[in-house]
Amino acid sequence: MGGGQTLAMRTWHFKLVSAQGELTMRQALIRFALAPIGIALFFWAWFDSERCFLHDRVAKTRLVSC
């Protein structure tokens, strides 16, 4: 998976992690498929208790600073 980071994520020091530890291909695909909807509903993160976007919440992933 590349360690949960794209080139842009490495530049900005972000990493995609899973609540279960290792990020699975299924989680990555769910996140990718739902990202356009999650970004369109960006206000979701304002009201989310952990400031997660909708696609991160559904895929059970989160972006963390590293």
Tokens 């972000």 identify what position? 14
pLDDT per residue over 9-44, tens digit each? 788 888 888 888 788 889 989 999 999 998 888 888
**What whole-number distance in Å separates Cα of residue 25 and Cα of residue 5?**
14
Identity at 13, one-letter amino acid code: H
The 8-class DSSP code of residue 1 comes to -
Residue 48: closest CA among 62, 34, 66, 64: 62
pLDDT grade, residue 59 (50/70/90)?
Answer: very high
